[in-house]
Structure 1
Amino acid sequence: MRTTHDTVRAAFRDECTALGDVLRELTPADLDRPTDCPPWAVRDLVAHVHAGAGRLTGMLAAPAPPRAEVDAAGYFGAAKFAPQVDRDRVDSARRQAREATDPAGIAAAFDRDWRAADAAVARQSVDRVVRTRHGDAMALTEFLVTRVVEVGVHGLDLAAALGREPWLTPTAAEVVATLLTGGRAVPPELGWDRLTVLRKATGRDPLTGRERTALGAAGLRLLAFGG
């Protein structure tokens, strides 16, 4: 599968739809479950994903920068994980989560906002450039890849917190895995599927010594968030 604009947009829609289905099934008690993204509980992590999924609506209403300067891989550089940026990200999600106590309302608001973002994307040309809240000028398609990463990877965190099997969709798995591997094939002897690539590359599952050796022998360096 090529990572085209249509491919990425389909992945965004698929993954947001899957997450929305899960959110509609949550109970108030589920919202207080701890996650592997401390200090966030489920309600905080959902608020973070919600904000990220809906962000393009405002970005596309702003003037377009003249040219893209950062791609999706560059977006996840060390600057995004600097201590102050990380604190702001954590605190922002917790503030938003305090206002969200009804699971049905949370699910409805998420659906409304990601669909509004998708509709805003549909009205743009594929060569549109946007400016992120960090000041990066990015091609629309590249930024949309980062949205698929946010919804897909944090979906794994939510699944773990809720005691559910991961619901990662095939389209999102393909887009995120392509980003994490730079589009290169993972050594077949590792036997990794797309879900394993995501878990290993994002630190959800640690790499073993054998896996590091195989990746090194293949000259494959997985994109590590913050690295």
Structure 2
Amino acid sequence: MDTVRAAFRDECARLEEVLGGLTAADLDRPTPCPPWAVRDLLAHVRTGAGRLVDMLAAPAPDRAEVDAAGYFGRAKFTPEVDRDRIDSARREAGAPAGVPEVAGGFARAWRAADAAVAAQPPGRLVRTRHGDTMTLTEFLRTRVVEVGVHGLDLADALDRRPWLTPTAADVLAGLLTGGRPLPAGLGWDALTLSRKATGRAAITDRERALIDSGGLGELSFGG
């Protein structure tokens, strides 16, 4: 939990810093997650980062059924779920707001979630909005994925260098590889792994062959 919480805090704090330097025009830029503009994607990230507040206010389930990798199963990326995800973000974005409101909303959401996590006993279990039951640590790992991977999308939309933090990159790498080492021939750093394994960059035939020979199987999941 300490490692995953540090990654969540680091990545959220870095995004909060980036948001403080945006302009009003930046919020209307298109993103690699159509049809969302930057403001829509930020609404999605804000909601995802703050989701634990309500989850931790609910009764804990009796047992955990999935881990972070299982949470990102194919059922999360069906056309129906995607449509709901897209529409929800647009509703949550609401009426156009300025940079201070957008940045402040994200800051309040992630900090409230972090405070809620800090108040929980070891081994706390949670139920997600999809009905999955899992440990708090594993769900927080999915929040690192959401903020970190969508941070890559935001960096692309804003024409900036990716700001993925080292702690978040480590959590992402561990999840994407199942803790197994990458084949040496790939030559990927943590950022390249994050981009390729989440569909933000193409995997070549040679890279796919190396992944398969290394026994990593399905290295990717939807964003």
Q: Settle same-fold status: TM greater than 0.5.
A: yes
Q: What 5-or-longer segments of structure 1 have no aligned partner? A: none
Report the 3-state secondary structure (helix = DSSP H, G, I; strand = E; otherwise coil) of the residue aligned with 1:130.
strand
Query: Quick one: which amino acid aligns to residue 162 of structure 1?
Result: L
8 Å Cα contact 1:79/1:226 also seen in 2: no
- Of residues 124, 141, 145 in structure 2, which corresponds to 1:128? 124
- Quote how far apart the aligned CAs of 1:224 are: 2.2
Q: How far, CA to CA, are the matches of 1:126 and 1:18 in structure 2? A: 27
8 Å Cα contact 1:179/1:223 also seen in 2: no
- Of residues 144, 148, 151 in structure 1, which corresponds to 2:147? 151
Q: What 5-or-longer segments of structure 2 have no aligned partner? A: none
- Are 2:69 and 1:76 equivalent residues in the alignment? no
Change in CA separation of 1:37 and 1:102 when aligned onto 2, cut-off 3 Å: same
- Of residues 42, 54, 60 in structure 1, which corresponds to 2:50? 54
8 Å Cα contact 2:55/2:127 also seen in 1: yes
Q: How far, CA to CA, are the matches of 2:106 and 2:158 in structure 1? A: 18
Query: Quick one: which amino acid aligns to residue 53 of structure 1?
Result: A
If the length of structure 1 is used for normalisation, what is the TM-score? 0.96
If the length of structure 2 is used for normalisation, what is the TM-score? 0.97
Q: How far, CA to CA, are the matches of 1:62 and 1:87 in structure 2? A: 26
Aligned counterparts, 1:1-227, within 5 A: 5-226=1-222
Which consecutive aligned stretches of 4+ in structure 1 deviate over 4 angstroms post-superposition? none
8 Å Cα contact 1:181/1:221 also seen in 2: no
8 Å Cα contact 2:199/2:222 also seen in 1: no
Query: Quick one: which amino acid aligns to residue 215 of structure 1?
Result: I
- Quote how far apart the aligned CAs of 1:95 are: 1.0
- Quote how far apart the aligned CAs of 1:223 are: 3.4
Q: How far, CA to CA, are the matches of 2:83 and 2:113 in structure 1? A: 26
Q: How far, CA to CA, are the matches of 1:133 and 1:91 in structure 2? A: 16
Q: How far, CA to CA, are the matches of 1:226 and 1:172 in structure 2? A: 18
